[in-house]
Amino acid sequence: MTFETVSTAKAYGGTQGVYRHDSTATGTPMTVSVYVPPHKEGQRLPVVWYLSGLTCTHANVTDKGEYRRACAELGLIFVAPDTSPRGEGVADDPAYDMGQGAGFYVDATQAPWAPHFGMWSYVTEELPALVATHFPADMDRQSIMGHSMGGHGALTIGLTLPERFRAISAFAPIVAPSQVPWGEKALGGYLGDDRASWRRHDAVALIEDGARVPAMLVDQGDADQFLEEQLKPHLLATACEAAGIDLTLRMQPGYDHSYYFISTFMADHLAWHAERLR
Ligand SMILES: N[C@@H](CCC(=O)N[C@@H](CS)C(=O)NCC(=O)O)C(=O)O
Marked catalytic residue, from 116, 148, 219, 269: 148
Q: How many helices (H) and strands (E) does the chain have?
A: 9, 9
DSSP for 7-43, written as a single string: EEEEETTEEEEEEEEE-TTTSSEEEEEEEE----TT-
Pocket lining for ligand 1, CB < 6 angstroms: 53-56, 60, 96, 147-149, 257-259
Strands in 29-36's sheet, in edge-to-edge order, are 3-11, 14-22, 29-36, 77-81, 45-51, 137-147, 165-171, 215-221, 246-252
DSSP for 170-217, written as a single string: EES----GGGSHHHHHHHHHHH-S-GGGGGGG-HHHHHHTT---SEEE
What local confidence, expressed as pLDDT, does residue 1 receive?
A: 66
Atom of ligand 1 nearest to the CA of 257: 6
Q: Which helix (H) or strand (E) holds 3?
A: strand 3-11
Atom of ligand 1 nearest to the CA of 64: 17
Q: Domain 3-277: give its CATH code.
A: 3.40.50.1820
Query: Which ipTM was obtained for this model?
Result: 0.93
Amino acid at 46: P
Could you tell me the distance, in angstroms and rounded to a whole number, from the CA of residue 233 to the centre of ligand 1?
Answer: 18
Is 169 annotated in the active site? no
Q: What angle do CA 85, 88, 90 make, to 5 degrees?
A: 40
Question: 33 pairs with which residues across the strands?
Answer: 18, 80
What local confidence, expressed as pLDDT, does residue 36 receive?
A: 99
Residues 145 and 53 sit within 8 Å (Cβ to Cβ): no
Give the three-state DSSP class for 44.
Answer: coil
What local confidence, expressed as pLDDT, does residue 66 receive?
A: 98
Distances (CA, A) of 67 to 44, 262, 264, 271: 19, 10, 10, 11
Q: What are the 10-residue block averages of pLDDT along the chain, 278 residues in total? A: 94 98 98 99 98 98 99 99 98 98 98 98 98 98 99 99 98 99 98 98 98 97 98 98 98 98 99 98
Domain spans, the chain: 3-277
Q: Quickly list H helices, 6-135.
A: 59-64, 68-74, 119-121, 127-134
Cis check: omega of the bond before 112, within 30 degrees of 0: yes
